[in-house]
Amino acid sequence: MAGKKYIYLFSEGRADMKQLLGGKGANLAEMTNIGLPVPPGITITCEACNEYIRLGRQFPEGLEEELKARLKDLEALNAKKLGDPKDPLLVSVRSGAPVSMPGMMDTILNLGLNDESVKGLAANTNDERFALDCYRRFIQMFGDVVLGIDHDKFEAILEKHKERLGVKFDNELTPAALQEVIAEYKDLVRKEVGRDFPQDPQEQLRMAVRAVFDSWDNPRAIVYRKINKIPDDLGTAVNIQTMVFGNMGPTSGTGVAFTRNPATGEKGIYGEYLINAQGEDVVAGIRTPKPIAELKKEMPDTYRQFEEICALLEKHYRDMQDIEFTIERGKLYILQTRVGKRTAAAAVKIAVDMVEEGLISQEEAILRVDPDQVVQLLHRRVDPEAKVQVIAKGLPASPGAASGKVVFDADEAERKGLDGEKVILVRNETTPDDIHGIVQAQGVLTARGGMTSHAAVVARGMGKPAVVGCGDLKIDVGGKRFFVGSLEVKEGDVISIDGATGNVMLGEVPLVEPQLSGEFQTLLQWADGVRRLKVRANADTPEDARRAREFGAEGIGLARTEHMFMGADRLPVVQQMILAKNKEEREAALAKLLPMQQGDFYEILKVMEGLPVTIRLLDPPLHEFLPSAEELLVEITRLEATGQNPEELEAKRDLLREVRAREEFNPMLGHRGCRLGVTYPEVYAMQARAIFRAVAQLKKEGINVLPEVEIPLVIHVNELRRLRQLVNEVADEVKKETGVDFDYKVGTMIELPRACATADEIAEEAEFFSFGTNDLTQTTFGFSRDDAEAKFLPQYLEEKILKENPFMVLDRQGVGKFMRMAVELGRKTRPELEVGICGEHGGEASSVEFCHLIGLNYVSCSPFRVPVARLAAAQAVIKEKKDKEASYSTE
């Protein structure tokens, strides 16, 4: 195709041409056009790169001619010629894809130098050292990135000469020494690639352009694209830019700067520079750079000009910028600008400050902050400045960081914890028997188990850090120690865990407290003014409920009652209830549990005064409250061996029989949820009674409470009809017995496909729906989450069979379709039906957006994620509005 334009002068481009010119090229063009001091240059488009790859690594037709022509333009702009032995034009060749990609080819500087033109450069600048320095850098960079010669081989030669002359830095080498370095570099090239270093600048340029194109498909780049989900067909642009020199002596230098502090968001230029240096010297750590504030003293005029440019760029791009600059004999040049990366704390501060400065609107500020990133701000975390020694990595099961002494059993954890010691409970996996230990520990570390293992779920529920499934850990429980490879860690040794990254670290690490900074509160208030979804929290304890309120929760969307069965005082009674031989025995046990449960509900409802609280009746299979068969077998064997205590032995044998009788082939699909309510109505009746008595008590105290009783795992309206009637009867009894009248709702969790498909019928009996999207995902996919995540899901994601883990990001096409159906059918029967979501998805941004789009009333998530959901819910509204506007304007 003749006449296709593959090359643009900087003056022909714009910032919005990133797709064609790459990010770097588009921004260089934009800066050129707003009059900033950018050395002139040209950009070969990403399209040319794609063509090159499509043609099997060949320049598309016409590209070489076009390059020659545009090069003439560039030469004219500079009044210099590439390869001119007297006054050579030198250029840099820089890659630049549409999205920033660290894996791409490194930049080549000083291209155009050869044995002749280096003399011209020396004569012209009257600086031989400088010219030779440029040449040796060029051979080194070209040799490394284009010819593929190991960088270290060049460094070794350089080092040798520095040592010989007894100097520390390369800018101290004499011209004579540099001559020798160059000669040795050229020998090295000849030896390594079997040809002389190319002397023809046109050839140098062609080879460099080709190398940039090729680097699009180098393994580093491919891996980076995969991890960051960047499409493979974007291609990269090539920028060929007139060189400016920071290595021309004491009034020259190079540096990088942010327009605001990228760690804190503080306003003011933040960066570093080096005098008499070139390119990446600042970041390469060859000399220690100086903070930018020094430049103010060293070159006040240049600094002032830089300040003005920073302000101008921020205003122009309306965001914090990351800028590269070079000073050549006192004259400032800008070589790159891009939106600066920043921490969550900085993102929040910058967004809010920029609204106050009139740079952006509140809605833009809301969109500027990544909800997944602010999770960082809501937990205690490892001080990012700290040096830590990571010894192992597990799954990041529950965010937050903690340090403490290693303990291997729950009793010990409890004992030490109550004594005020900080401990980390380390187990192969945890069971309900460990709860008392987890309560007293700073965090939990397990060798086995997935993101929904007991330890993970319990720790998340308690807001405690947890790292699970840390396979590198070899625990020797008897020896009270664990190993990571040959490293031994004993009971009492201090470790730290970071549940946000999965890192396990040796020793105590400095932690920083979570902060809802003033700016963050402001941003969230703006978000509250925009969002339509309400945000509730999942909370099982009064402490969680309190924290949830602090973070802005507008109710509790899920209070699970099973955790209330697990404390050391409760579990034996719960076991009596389960093992009861008849109804009387069971009711006796339930009678003991009733006041305890009533106390639990009283506390939570009280904390949540004035706000709705959804309480789910018992859900897990009962055998979860019993010891495991293996454990019992071990004890039985032990008792048999000692021959003592025959009564205890008999009791254990009985218990084992009971445990065996309750074993299920697939507990996830077994005797659980409302199936328990159907088979043991007295259990649900007890729970309902505990709820309503607490309600009556609070009403008497003048406290307004809004209880919602939730029946889990319903598949048929008949289940709900029966259980709702049971709940209603208990409510009537309590009203009569207490003489207090109160309101409540009865509804259901929607977590099975059949419930979605028959939601119109179910809505006849349900006053609210709440999607339990973990089970709904498991049953829609036919995956058990733990098995999937441990065994095959990683490969599914790797090979892109699935784009996302459906347990983390709601599957809109499958699970989402069921949800949409359930909402529509449910509201057909009962237009005022209140619908929410209480799965983990309720705190994940993309899932929150989907909930907004299908018209839910609220999302409910862990207390720590409430701010995330508030922000995400507001973003959903703004994005929906934008999409609508875009679709009108294209009509």
* Residues involved in catalysis: 454, 838
Judged by CB under 6 A, does residue 75 bind ligand ADP? Answer: no
- Polymer length of the chain: 891
Judged by CB under 6 A, does residue 243 bind ligand ADP? Answer: yes
**What is the Cα–Cα distance from 841 to 851, expressed in whole angstroms?**
10
Judged by CB under 6 A, does residue 292 bind ligand ADP? Answer: no
Contact 449, 398 (CB under 8 A): no
Judged by CB under 6 A, which of 326, 362, 446, 857 binds ligand ADP? 326
Contact 814, 781 (CB under 8 A): yes
Q: Among 46-54, 224-232, 236-244, 453-461, which window interacts with ligand ADP (CB under 6 A)?
A: 236-244
Judged by CB under 6 A, does residue 276 bind ligand ADP? Answer: no
Q: Both tokens of residue 239?
A: 């920028």
Judged by CB under 6 A, does residue 92 bind ligand ADP? Answer: yes
Partner in contact with 326, chosen from ligand ADP, Mg ion, none, beta carbon below 5 to 8 Å by kind:
ligand ADP
Contact 11, 204 (CB under 8 A): no
Q: Of 28 and 674, which has the nearer Cβ to ligand ADP?
A: 28
**What is the Cα–Cα distance from 658 to 387, expressed in whole angstroms?**
52
Tokens 């729970």 belong to: 687
Least distance to ligand ADP, CB of residue 20, Å: 18
Least distance to Mg ion, CB of residue 106, Å: 5
**What is the Cα–Cα distance from 713 to 711, expressed in whole angstroms?**
7
Least distance to ligand ADP, CB of residue 100, Å: 8
What CA–CA distances, in Å, run from 493 to 179, 473, 485?
57, 15, 17
Q: Of 333 and 684, which has the nearer Cβ to ligand ADP?
A: 333
Least distance to Mg ion, CB of residue 236, Å: 12
Judged by CB under 6 A, does residue 604 bind ligand ADP? Answer: no
Residues facing 403 on adjacent strands: 496
Query: Site map for ligand ADP, 614-633, x if CB under 6 A?
Result: --------------------
Contact 886, 879 (CB under 8 A): no
Q: Among 238-246, 374-382, 482-490, 800-808, which window interacts with ligand ADP (CB under 6 A)?
A: 238-246
Judged by CB under 6 A, does residue 335 bind ligand ADP? Answer: yes
- Give the footprint of Mg ion on residues 781-840 (CB under 5 A): none
Q: Of 240 and 714, which has the nearer Cβ to ligand ADP?
A: 240
Least distance to ligand ADP, CB of residue 336, Å: 5
HSE-CB at 96 with a 13 A cutoff on CA atoms is 29
Q: Among 103-111, 380-388, 619-627, 709-717, which window interacts with Mg ion (CB under 5 A)?
A: 103-111
Least distance to ligand ADP, CB of residue 270, Å: 17
Partner in contact with 136, chosen from ligand ADP, Mg ion, none, beta carbon below 5 to 8 Å by kind:
none
**What is the Cα–Cα distance from 152 to 160, expressed in whole angstroms?**
12
**Total residues at the site for ligand ADP (CB under 6 A)?**
16
Q: Of 110 and 784, which has the nearer Cβ to ligand ADP?
A: 110
Judged by CB under 5 A, does residue 779 bind Mg ion? Answer: no
Judged by CB under 5 A, does residue 215 bind Mg ion? Answer: no
Residue nearest to Mg ion (CB): 336
Least distance to Mg ion, CB of residue 424, Å: 40
**What is the Cα–Cα distance from 74 to 58, expressed in whole angstroms?**
24
Q: Which residues contact 215 (CB under 8 A, 6 or more apart)?
A: 95, 103, 104, 105, 145, 221, 236
Q: Among 99-107, 381-389, 454-462, 641-649, which window interacts with Mg ion (CB under 5 A)?
A: 99-107
Judged by CB under 6 A, which of 13, 23, 39, 201 binds ligand ADP? 39
Q: Is 152 helix (H, G, I), strand (E, B) or coil?
A: helix
Tokens 């040049």 belong to: 333
Amino acid at 670: G
Residues facing 82 on adjacent strands: 89
**What is the Cα–Cα distance from 235 to 225, expressed in whole angstroms?**
11
Q: Among 98-106, 605-613, 782-790, 811-819, which window interacts with Mg ion (CB under 5 A)?
A: 98-106
Give 195-203's long-range contacts (Cβ < 8 A, gap of 24+).
197/139, 197/142, 197/143, 199/114, 199/115, 199/116, 200/83, 200/114, 201/82, 201/83, 201/88, 201/111, 201/112, 201/114, 201/117, 202/82, 202/83
Q: Among 15-23, 106-114, 262-270, 643-651, which window interacts with Mg ion (CB under 5 A)?
A: 106-114
**What is the Cα–Cα distance from 508 to 495, expressed in whole angstroms?**
6
Judged by CB under 5 A, does residue 336 bind Mg ion? Answer: yes
Least distance to ligand ADP, CB of residue 539, Å: 47
Judged by CB under 6 A, does residue 252 bind ligand ADP? Answer: no
Judged by CB under 6 A, which of 27, 43, 45, 107 binds ligand ADP? 107
Instruction: Give the max Cα distance, the chain.
Output: 107
Q: Of 109 and 869, which has the nearer Cβ to ligand ADP?
A: 109
Judged by CB under 6 A, which of 112, 279, 499, 772 binds ligand ADP? 279
Least distance to Mg ion, CB of residue 338, Å: 8
Least distance to ligand ADP, CB of residue 125, Å: 15
Q: Of 339 and 367, which has the nearer Cβ to Mg ion?
A: 339
Q: Of 255 and 463, which has the nearer Cβ to ligand ADP?
A: 255
Q: Of 243 and 441, which has the nearer Cβ to ligand ADP?
A: 243
Contact 826, 762 (CB under 8 A): yes
Judged by CB under 6 A, does residue 362 bind ligand ADP? Answer: no
Q: Of 243 and 355, which has the nearer Cβ to ligand ADP?
A: 243
Judged by CB under 6 A, which of 70, 81, 94, 865 binds ligand ADP? 94
Q: Of 97 and 706, which has the nearer Cβ to Mg ion?
A: 97
Q: Is 792 helix (H, G, I), strand (E, B) or coil?
A: helix
Q: Of 97 and 838, which has the nearer Cβ to Mg ion?
A: 97
Q: Is 291 helix (H, G, I), strand (E, B) or coil?
A: strand
Partner in contact with 241, chosen from Mg ion, ligand ADP, none, beta carbon below 5 to 8 Å by kind:
ligand ADP
Question: What is the 3-class SS of 720-788, one letter each residue?
Answer: HHHHHHHHHHHHHHHHHHHCCCCCCEEEEEECCHHHHHCHHHHCCCCCEEEECHHHHHHHHHCCCHHHH
List of E strands, 422-543: 423-427, 443-446, 466-468, 473-476, 481-484, 487-490, 494-498, 503-506, 511-512, 534-538
Q: Of 326 and 770, which has the nearer Cβ to Mg ion?
A: 326
Q: Is 557 helix (H, G, I), strand (E, B) or coil?
A: strand
**What is the Cα–Cα distance from 691 to 597, expressed in whole angstroms?**
8
Contact 196, 189 (CB under 8 A): yes
**What is the Cα–Cα distance from 240 to 45, expressed in whole angstroms?**
11
* DSSP result, 582-612: SHHHHHHHHHHHHHHHHHHHHHHHHHTTTSE
Least distance to ligand ADP, CB of residue 92, Å: 3
Q: Which helix (H) or strand (E) holds 48?
A: helix 46-54
Residues facing 402 on adjacent strands: 497
Least distance to ligand ADP, CB of residue 14, Å: 19
Least distance to ligand ADP, CB of residue 104, Å: 7
Judged by CB under 6 A, which of 87, 217, 272, 280 binds ligand ADP? 280
Judged by CB under 6 A, does residue 27 bind ligand ADP? Answer: no
Judged by CB under 6 A, which of 32, 236, 336, 452 binds ligand ADP? 336
Q: Of 198 and 279, which has the nearer Cβ to ligand ADP?
A: 279
Binding site for Mg ion (CB under 5 A): 106, 324, 336
Binding site for ligand ADP (CB under 6 A): 39, 92, 94, 107, 109, 241-244, 254, 279-280, 324, 326, 335-336
